[in-house]
Structure 1
Amino acid sequence: MQSRSNRVRALKMVRIIAVLFLAASMYFWYESQSNGHALTDLAAQDLICGDVIAPCQVGNRSYNILVPQGEGPFPAVIFFHGSGGSGASVIRDAALVAPLLQKGYALIAPSALDVTYSGGRRLSGWIWEGQRDGRDDYRFVQDVINDATSKFPIQEEDLIVAGHSNGATFVWYLACEGLDTRLRNFATIGGTPVRDRLLSCADVRPSFNLYHTHGTADSVVPVDGTQRTATWHGWLGAIEAVEMMAAASGCSEKEEIATSETTETTRWYGCQSGAEFRVDLNDGGHEIPTNWVETLFAWSQDLP
Structure 2
Amino acid sequence: MKWFAAALLALGAATAHSQENCGGPETPCEISAGTYHIVLPEGPGPHPVMVFLHGAGGKGAALVGSGGISGTAVSRGYAYIAPNGLIRPGRMRSGWSFHPFFVKRRDERAFIRDVLADATKRFNLDPKRTILAGFSIGGSLASYIACDHPSDFSAYAPVAGNLWRPHPEHCAGPVRLLHTHGWRDKTVPLEGRILRQIGDKTLAQGDVFHAMLIWRTVNGCANYRADQFDTKGLFWRRIWNKCFPSTALELALFDGGHGVPPGWADMVLDWFEGLDANAD
Show the counterpart of 2:205: 235
Show the counterpart of 2:120: 149
- Say whether residues 1:174 and 2:145 are aligned partners: yes
Q: Partner amino acid for 1:89? A: A
- Say whether residues 1:270 and 2:270 are aligned partners: no
The answer as to whether partners of 1:256 and 1:264 remain within 8 angstroms in 2 is: no
Q: Give the 5 Å matches for 1:293-304.
A: 293-303=265-275, 304=279
Change (3 A) 1:273 1:233: farther
Q: Could you tell me how far 1:61 is from its partner in structure 2? A: 1.4
- Say whether residues 1:54 and 2:27 are aligned partners: yes
Q: Partner amino acid for 1:210? A: L
CA distance in 2, matches of 1:47, 1:278: 37
Show the counterpart of 2:174: 207
Between the two structures, name the one with larger relative contact order (CA 8 Å, sep ≥ 6).
2
Change (3 A) 1:256 1:240: farther
From 229, 232, 239, the counterpart of 1:260: 232
Q: Given the two structures, how large is their TM-score scaled by the length of structure 2?
A: 0.82
Task: Using the aligned pairs only, state the percent identity.
Answer: 29
What is the CA deviation profile of residues 260-282 of structure 1, one whole-angstrom value per residue up to 9, with x for unaligned ones? 36521111222236421101010
Show the counterpart of 2:57: 84
Cα-Cα RMSD: 2.4
CA distance in 1, matches of 2:81, 2:34: 14
From 62, 67, 74, the counterpart of 2:47: 74
Show the counterpart of 1:37: none
The answer as to whether partners of 1:262 and 1:282 remain within 8 angstroms in 2 is: yes
Q: Could you tell me how far 1:121 is from its partner in structure 2? A: 4.5
CA distance in 2, matches of 1:221, 1:298: 26
Show the counterpart of 1:138: 109
CA distance in 2, matches of 1:143, 1:284: 34
The answer as to whether partners of 1:51 and 1:64 remain within 8 angstroms in 2 is: yes
CA distance in 1, matches of 2:170, 2:245: 13
Q: Could you tell me how far 1:229 is from its partner in structure 2? A: 5.5
Q: Partner amino acid for 1:211? A: L
CA distance in 2, matches of 1:76, 1:55: 17
Show the counterpart of 2:12: none
Q: Could you tell me how far 1:111 is from its partner in structure 2? A: 0.1
SS at match of 2:204: coil
Structure number with greater Rg is: 1
- Say whether residues 1:127 and 2:97 are aligned partners: yes
Q: Partner amino acid for 2:120? A: T
Change (3 A) 1:290 1:227: same
CA distance in 2, matches of 1:292, 1:262: 9
Q: Could you tell me how far 1:105 is from its partner in structure 2? A: 0.5
CA distance in 2, matches of 1:261, 1:152: 35
SS at match of 1:98: helix
Structure 1: runs of 5 or more not aligned: 1-44
What is the CA deviation profile of residues 134-182 of structure 1, one whole-angstrom value per residue up to 9, with x for unaligned ones? 4221221121111101110211110000000010001111112217x44
Q: Could you tell me how far 1:219 is from its partner in structure 2? A: 1.3
Change (3 A) 1:103 1:162: same
What is the CA deviation profile of residues 37-83 of structure 1, one whole-angstrom value per residue up to 9, with x for unaligned ones? xxxxxxxx974210011110012511000110011110010110000
The answer as to whether partners of 2:34 and 2:84 remain within 8 angstroms in 1 is: yes
- Say whether residues 1:64 and 2:37 are aligned partners: yes
Q: Given the two structures, how large is their TM-score scaled by the length of structure 1?
A: 0.76
Structure 2: runs of 5 or more not aligned: 1-17
Show the counterpart of 2:257: 285
Q: Could you tell me how far 1:297 is from its partner in structure 2? A: 1.3
CA distance in 2, matches of 1:163, 1:183: 13
The answer as to whether partners of 1:157 and 1:182 remain within 8 angstroms in 2 is: no
- Say whether residues 1:216 and 2:187 are aligned partners: no
SS at match of 1:251: coil
Show the counterpart of 1:97: 70
Q: Which runs of 4+ in 1 moved over 6 A?
A: none
CA distance in 2, matches of 1:58, 1:182: 18
